[in-house]
Amino acid sequence: MIRANKKPYLTTGEIGKILHITRVTVYRWIKLGQLKAVRVHQGKYRVSKNDFAKFVKQHGLHNQVTPGHITPSTVKILIVDDDPELIGTIKTYLEIANHHYYIAGATNAFEAGQLTVSFSPDVVILNLSMPGVDGFSICRKIKSASPSPGTKIIAVIPFSSVANVKKGRKKGADMVLTKPLDYRKLLSIIKKLTT
């Protein structure tokens, strides 16, 4: 018997075991666009349990999947920051705090744009002060490009100033936080924005 994981996503290997198929088949479904997935570091894919549930329903595979493998309460979070280590730290903290958080990271504006469309995040944590990038315009683009109109943006600025907070809100940020990040406050804001 395959034990259901408590994370809000599945790996290609886990899906293969659940459906008794090879992970190559799962990979092929992803490549053909039949199964929605997000590419994470090192070329690996993750499939949200919500997307897996839709796939199972669409293909009549209910009898092969136990309910514990699918949970509907996933919150997708995109972290946009030029520091991959900071992305990793925030990701680890949030995943430990709530195993229903499904998190992706982007280190530049191009990745952020791609993931806004393919990942369709519920929440974006956006560093507005990345070098060589106008964070305020990224904020505006995410709000307008996201397939999910309810996407919430938490803008992160290096220091609090009335002008920056106002500008962040004007460009579409739902909340503005200052660095260094208070992770407990960040978690509290995410809960508030997603309930």
Which comes out higher in pLDDT, residue 176 or 40? 176
Report how far residue 151's alpha carbon sits from residue 53's, in angstroms, rounded to the nearest whole number: 22
| pLDDT of 20 | 85
Which comes out higher in pLDDT, residue 41 or 85? 85
Annotate 8-21 with b (16+ C-beta within 10 A) or e (fewer).
bbbbbebbbebbee
Domains of the chain and any CATH numbers: 9-69 (1.10.1660), 75-194 (3.40.50.2300)
Q: Are the C-beta atoms of 91 and 44 separated by less than 8 Å?
A: no
| pLDDT of 70 | 57
pLDDT of 184 > 90? The answer is yes
Which comes out higher in pLDDT, residue 69 or 127? 127
| pLDDT of 68 | 61
β-strand partners of 192: none
Tokens of 184: 């407990």
| pLDDT of 29 | 93
pLDDT of 58 > 70? The answer is yes
| pLDDT of 187 | 95
Q: Are the C-beta atoms of 45 and 16 separated by less than 8 Å?
A: no
pLDDT of 1 > 50? The answer is no
Q: What is the pLDDT of residues 71-102, one digit of tens each?
A: 546 788 999 999 999 999 999 999 889 878 88
Report how far residue 143's alpha carbon sits from residue 71's, in angstroms, rounded to the nearest whole number: 27
Give me the helix-helix angle, 84-97 and 183-194, nearest 10°: 60
| pLDDT of 159 | 74
* Cα separations in angstroms, 117 against 1, 26, 129: 36, 22, 22
Q: What is the pLDDT of residues 118-177, one digit of tens each?
A: 888 899 999 988 888 777 788 888 877 666 668 899 999 887 677 777 777 877 889 999
Q: Which residues are within 8 A (CB) of 189 and not within 5 positions of it... i.e. 6 or more apart?
A: 154, 175, 177
| pLDDT of 127 | 92
Percent of the chain with pLDDT over 90: 33
pLDDT band at 34 (very low <50, low <70, confident <90, very high): very high
pLDDT of 2 > 50? The answer is no
β-strand partners of 176: 155
Q: Which residues are within 8 A (CB) of 140 and not within 5 positions of it... i.e. 6 or more apart?
A: 171, 172
Report how far residue 147's alpha carbon sits from residue 158's, in angstroms, rounded to the nearest whole number: 29
